[in-house]
Amino acid sequence: MKKIDQLLHAQWIITCENKNRVLENHALAIHAGKIVAIIPSDQAKQDYEATHEAHYKTHAIMPGFINSHTHLAMNLFRGLADDLELMDWLNNYIWPAEGKWVDHELVYDGSLLAMAEMIRGGTTCFNDMYFFLGATADAAIKAGMRAHIGMTVIDVPTAWAKTTDEYFAKAIEFYEQYKNHELVTPTLAPHSTYTVSIENLERVKKLADQYKLQINMHLQEAPSEMEQSYANYNKRPLARLHEINMVSPSLIGIHLTQVNDADLEILAATKPNIVHCPESNMKLVSGACPVQKLLDLGINVALGTDGAASNNDLDMFGEMRTAAFLGKVTANDPKALNAETVLKMATINGAKALKIDHLTGSLEAGKSADCIAIDLNHLETQPVYHPISQIVYATPRSQVTDVWVAGKQLLKNRELTTLDANELIAKAQNWRKKIKS
């Protein structure tokens, strides 16, 4: 018998790898934070002696969700300004509030609040874009989450940096500090083509090439962005990026609700990653990304919630359901964005976009034990004909019972193990008082 750290038995194990197997009465064998085997429970009991053994008798165990686009600290602005168009919302509400309040402390508190929400909803990894990167990194390390932190570049002075040079200097400093960290990975995050000049985007590209970093960017998010781009450059944002060779598998284009045939030609030839944020796009009436069309062209599409000020939650179950429904309406085809496709968008496709699919995003021997247990033995999710259908179309996030990142348990029977929920609520209420005044 081999000695290992953990043996987790489950009624179903959903792997989310290429074959996307749904295995019944199997066990996940974990040692030193990694999956060593996925085998039938009976066999596992013969093969392994585990320090910790647990039975998830009515649960599905699957990879943790990867929320591929967030602005975590904005959890503290949740509900501050709703029911507005993107540019009105940004210019008249969000940017002024950020200008006044965003600092290291707000980012730390807001990010922790968001991480607690994400862990309770089964998310194990996120891809963030914000300011005061060190605060987000500190929060992720405390929470125990896998974090991709975007080093923002924007030609607008903020409390984080006054000039574009300062954004670059801070990005390099952050990169040097975290380049070899186990949980925190730096990425580049030029905000958009309407807030960063083409010269500075070329600098971003140079840096990305030099350090081999992914580039996150809001891209063709709303009609107003397109109008601005035509008025100023007589070109579409994607075409401008293509001219400087920035559209490639290293690019993570976020939103992409505005797509024409010329765009599709560029995308098919260059294969960037796209992050679909359907709820934010619907709430701001930005438009709908033609996801099925992109997938049919072989383009990797991941799923993100966007910030809590434009969603207003970080619920990947809700996001999957919305992506499926909106995807069907957009394609005018009920077969578009089926349950399995959407589940992959929320897991392995996110890992591919972040270039960590060798490490996480599916349950396979050799990968990190980043997984969640979902109890399907609730009135709301019975009977279970197909676990994937149930998870995508009927399960609320409150049915996530347990969450692990690299084998470390972050949620145990719905209780947070690394964070204090009461303390986070008290801090959120304090911020509300300050921001409201």
- Chain residues that interact with Zn ion, rule: CB under 5 A: 306
Nearer to Zn ion, 225 or 306 (CB): 306
CB of 280 to Zn ion, least distance (A): 7
CB of 306 to Zn ion, least distance (A): 5
Nearer to Zn ion, 98 or 306 (CB): 306
CB of 256 to Zn ion, least distance (A): 12
CB of 324 to Zn ion, least distance (A): 21
Q: Closest residue to Zn ion, Cβ-based?
A: 306
CB of 123 to Zn ion, least distance (A): 16
Nearer to Zn ion, 128 or 357 (CB): 128
Nearer to Zn ion, 309 or 348 (CB): 309
CB of 90 to Zn ion, least distance (A): 10
CB of 161 to Zn ion, least distance (A): 18
Nearer to Zn ion, 225 or 370 (CB): 225
Nearer to Zn ion, 164 or 310 (CB): 310
Nearer to Zn ion, 17 or 128 (CB): 128
Nearer to Zn ion, 4 or 326 (CB): 326
CB of 87 to Zn ion, least distance (A): 14
Q: Do the beta carbons of residue 188 and residue 171 sit within 8 Å?
A: yes
Place of tokens 């809590």: 308
